Chains A and B, each alone.
Chain A
Amino acid sequence: GAVVSQHPSRVICKSGTSVKIECRSLDFQATTMFWYRQFPKQSLMLMATSNEGSKATYEQGVEKDKFLINHASLTLSTLTVTSAHPEDSSFYICSARAAPAGGSTEAFFGQGTRLTVV
């Protein structure tokens, strides 16, 4: 099946610094990728939809200046958490949808990034 690779899997940063998370579709092209945030023992909340070559679409309540999304190519989307604070600590997961040969579209997920801001 299609593979989505997310890096890094874990990152610890100091408060006030920025952190970049990469999401790559390894064997397919993804014009659209999705970024989710998951709080401990809670569900995945959609943060934004990343569109190749255009601006991301953010969900209500998500600060676009805090969470910068860039989708510069058909295989790479990045999420940058700017001026991170402890409340930004969370598990971030990216996703892309693709249609395996002969099948309908599926959603493929990265391994997730555990961000801890100290």
Chain B
Amino acid sequence: AQSVTQPDIHITVSEGASLELRCNYSYGATPYLFWYVQSPGQGLQLLLKYFSGDTLVQGIKGFEAEFKRSQSSFNLRKPSVHWSDAAEYFCAVGAVQAGTALIFGKGTTLSVSS
């Protein structure tokens, strides 16, 4: 079955501390992986994506993610969290073909403490 697992429902990080959000996937074909961020009541903003090439992907807002095929993981990281990073983060997987929908994880809520 195709699925995305985000094991952490809620994470609290101190401002300035590092962050890692976990994502594991199960997908029958070559996966196309995404991380999105959503602020309350808002749509989704793409942070970064991976299909092929360098397994360490740089995104916007200082985020990066590393694809590890052997672990079926695509964890999101940021070296120093800012209070404005508090939001909901979703990992998603899909096929390359434009006619296929993305499958989302349940999301991780990030809180930032001062």
List, in ascending order, chain B residues with CB within 8 A of A105's CB. 32, 96-98
Interface residues on B, range: 20 to 34
Q: Please, which residues of chain B bring their CB within 8 A of the CB of A42?
A: 106-107
Q: With A31-B99, A93-B44, A114-B41 in contact, do A104 and B109 touch (Cβ < 8 Å)?
A: no
- A106-B49, A110-B43 are known contacts. Are A44 and B97 too (CB-CB below 8 A)? no
- Find chain B residues with CB under 8 A from A34 CB: 101-102
CA distance A46 to B88 in the complex (A): 18
Given A112-B43, A114-B41, CB of A104 within 8 Å of CB of B32: yes
Shortest Cβ gap from B101 to chain A (Å): 4
Residues of A within 8 A of B96 (CB): 104-105
The reply to whether B32 and A93 form a contact with Cβ atoms under 8 Å apart is no
Is A75 in contact with chain B by the CB < 8 A criterion? Answer: no
Taking CB atoms, residues of chain A closer than 8 Å to B36 are 109
Please give the distance in Å from A28's CB to the nearest CB on chain B.
Answer: 10
For B34, B100, B101, B102, which residue has the most chain A Cβ atoms within 10 angstroms? B101
If the complex has contacts A34-B101, A43-B90, A49-B101, are A93 and B106 also in contact, measured as CB distance less than 8 A?
A: no
Show the binding face of B for A, using Cβ within 8 Å. 32, 34, 36, 41-44, 46, 49, 51, 88, 90, 92, 94, 96-107, 109
11 contacts between A and B (CB under 8 A): A31-B98, A32-B99, A34-B101, A36-B104, A43-B104, A49-B99, A97-B98, A97-B100, A107-B94, A112-B41, A114-B41
